[in-house]
Amino acid sequence: MRTNYCGTINTRYLNQIVTLYGWVHRRRDHGGVIFIDLRDREGIVQIVCDPENANTFQIAEKIRNEFVLKVIGTVRPRPEGTVNLALQTGEVEVLVDTIEILNPSLTPPFQMDEESLSEAIRLEHRFLDLRRPVMQKNLRLRHKVTMAVRCFLDQQGFIDVETPMLTKSTPEGARDYLVPSRVNDGHFFALPQSPQLFKQLLMVSGFDRYYQITRCFRDEDLRADRQPEFTQIDIETSFLNEDEIMVLMEGMIRNLFREAIGVDLPSPFPRLSHEEAMFRYGSDKPDLRIPLVFTELTDLMQDVPFQVFRDAAQKPDGRVAALRIPKGCELSRKEIDDYTHFVAIYGAKGLAYIKINSLEKGLEGLQSPILKFLPEPVVKAVLERSGAQEGDLVFFGADKAKIVNDALGALRVKIGHERGLIDSEWKPLWVVDFPMFEWDEEENRWKALHHPFTSPANGHEDLLMTEPGKALSKAYDMVLNGVEIGGGSVRIHRQDVQSKVFNALNISEGEAREKFGFLLNALQYGAPPHGGIAFGLDRIVAMMTGAESIRDVIAFPKTQRAQCLLTHAPNIVEEKQLRELHIRLRNPKEVISWSY
């Protein structure tokens, strides 16, 4: 039986006989003595095969990288001059008494300590990629995070309850993954986008405090921080208001970071209204590590000769804002042009600017192609409001408020990173007071900003029927370093209020009954006030590890085309299976090419 993991052997075990199991990380033949770096999940230890032990040495000569071995040997100090303090095991080595090859290995397509690897190759051979120390570290941290969550919630009286994976399609959010029913011809299940409705039903059932670390599914376009299947830390509780829920969840996240990576997050987290976040940062998930903020100029530009600014300022939904860049005069014309192309991604038609070369010279000390269109008092007001100093540059955004916010908000983050303006490692906050609804121009109707089960803010219930665009909600998002890691709300626990929200969303009574009848029925049977939150486990762990993509903290992820390169999924199924499911394909079967 194994006595130790490889990576735990140190000077405490000197002169002891140990039994180790692991994979050959590297084999080196130095003048007749064979050295093997034996690796397991805890790390690497150096194994020494001496030619005086003839049987062992003959076996060692056959060993190659990634062979699986059982080794019995004696721990001894490394010879002087060979100590490697970079390894936990670097002061010792194991002199082999017996060695057994448990299984040989083909030559792997890459070394386990290679850094510059193609992601396609890694995902195709994920079982090997997961042997790499960095991936072992990532997934072990993920385990540590989930254990810390479970321990905290258990201590707070939360109960782990599983909810269905096969459920009903309720297409009010992202696109569902559908599962055809064999025994119910023409009917489909949906994989859950979240356990939202079931956790509300659990509150009606009196469980009071629920949590689940669960898989969720969304058929949407993928990005680095998205996967078709992902993991949520899903939480719901009864009889707490939004402030009490936020305090409790803030405590969980602080405990989580302390336990998992030894980081002490601030207490309490700052809170920012949605309106202020958009006004100051152009984003409802601002990265507070970046000190840059917007300067509001809409009122200043109402009557300026510069038509781009004037038209934007006079639009009901228009905005003119500025972003001051400290020492921005250093930016070259090419860099400014590159930023202009960047903001165009977000719909901006240009990126006006003023360079402040010298404050003493007044307008003559400024450099900009738009100065001739701006009256001197307006220019002075811009400099005063923005706090511009000599050597700074001021960028401008002028268009619909959404375009200005999106474009300057993204530019703020890009410049903050590129110019080294980030001033701390971790900056959490709560964004609160979200609008209940946002206007969908394509469908010409209001849509729920979070989801249609979010409670209106106190005093805003009447606005649901009269001015839904002004109604605020009891919703809250936890943001960390510009990433939304959790979102939640107090839910609607009264059927009459829920019906008002459906009405504002242009969901008829019949449609509401068809889609959500089970919830509406439950709300009539003494539903308690309740609320909750869901955290993105993959995002949190990715941030802790510094991974560029959540794929690096998921054992078997999909690509950005929602494919698994390891198992070649999705795949074509047999005609017999389709007939059993009562399905006929409209388009000819197109076989996916799995060549890389």
Q: Give the pLDDT confidence score for residue 63 in this predicted structure.
A: 96
d(CA 541, CA 485): 10
Residue type, 129: D
Q: Residue 537, annotated ligand binder?
A: yes
In a domain, 589, yes or no: yes
In a domain, 379, yes or no: yes
Say whether both 363 and 399 belong to one domain: yes
- What is the tens place of the pLDDT at every residue in 227-272? 999 999 999 999 999 999 999 999 999 999 999 999 999 999 999 9
Q: Residue 172, annotated ligand binder?
A: yes
- What is the tens place of the pLDDT at every residue in 509-564? 898 888 888 999 999 999 999 999 999 999 999 999 999 899 999 999 999 888 99
d(CA 468, CA 435): 9
pLDDT at residue 62 tops 70? yes
- CATH value at residue 324: 3.30.1360.30
In a domain, 433, yes or no: no
- CATH value at residue 269: 3.30.930.10
CB 594 within 8 A of CB 565: yes
Q: Residue 539, annotated ligand binder?
A: yes
d(CA 326, CA 58): 68
Say whether both 158 and 76 belong to one domain: no
pLDDT at residue 226 tops 90? no
Q: Give the pLDDT confidence score for residue 12 in this predicted structure.
A: 96
In a domain, 592, yes or no: yes
Going by pLDDT thresholds of 50, 70 and 90, the confidence category of residue 329 is very high
d(CA 519, CA 527): 10
pLDDT at residue 85 tops 70? yes
Strands 43-49 and 92-103: parallel
As for how many domains the chain has, the answer is 3
Q: Residue 460, annotated ligand binder?
A: no
Say whether both 157 and 296 belong to one domain: no
Say whether both 230 and 309 belong to one domain: no
pLDDT at residue 172 tops 70? no
Q: Residue 220, annotated ligand binder?
A: yes
pLDDT (average), residues 66-70: 98
- Who has greater pLDDT, 224 or 69? 69
- CATH value at residue 59: 2.40.50.140
Say whether both 33 and 154 belong to one domain: no
Whole-number average pLDDT of the chain: 94
In a domain, 224, yes or no: yes
Say whether both 218 and 135 belong to one domain: yes
Backbone φ and ψ for 471, nearest 5 degrees, come out as -75, 130
In a domain, 318, yes or no: yes
Boundary (domain end) residue, out of 423, 441, 472 = 423
Q: Residue 264, annotated ligand binder?
A: no
Boundary (domain end) residue, out of 369, 393, 423 = 423
Q: Residue 509, annotated ligand binder?
A: no
- What is the tens place of the pLDDT at every residue in 373-400? 999 999 999 999 999 999 999 999 999 9
pTM of the shown model: 0.92
Say whether both 14 and 136 belong to one domain: no
Q: Residue 25, annotated ligand binder?
A: no
Q: Residue 561, annotated ligand binder?
A: no
* CB burial string 245-271: b at 16+ within 10 A, e below: bbebbbebbbbbbebbeeeebeeebee
Q: Residue 514, annotated ligand binder?
A: no
Say whether both 200 and 307 belong to one domain: no
Say whether both 257 and 130 belong to one domain: yes
d(CA 318, CA 306): 15
Say whether both 257 and 352 belong to one domain: no
Return the HEC string of 10-46.
Answer: CHHHCCCEEEEEEEEEEEEEECCEEEEEEEECCEEEE
Structural domain range at position 310: 290-423
In a domain, 497, yes or no: no
Going by pLDDT thresholds of 50, 70 and 90, the confidence category of residue 442 is confident
Going by pLDDT thresholds of 50, 70 and 90, the confidence category of residue 171 is low
In a domain, 515, yes or no: no
Say whether both 360 and 299 belong to one domain: yes
Say whether both 208 and 93 belong to one domain: no
pLDDT at residue 324 tops 80? yes
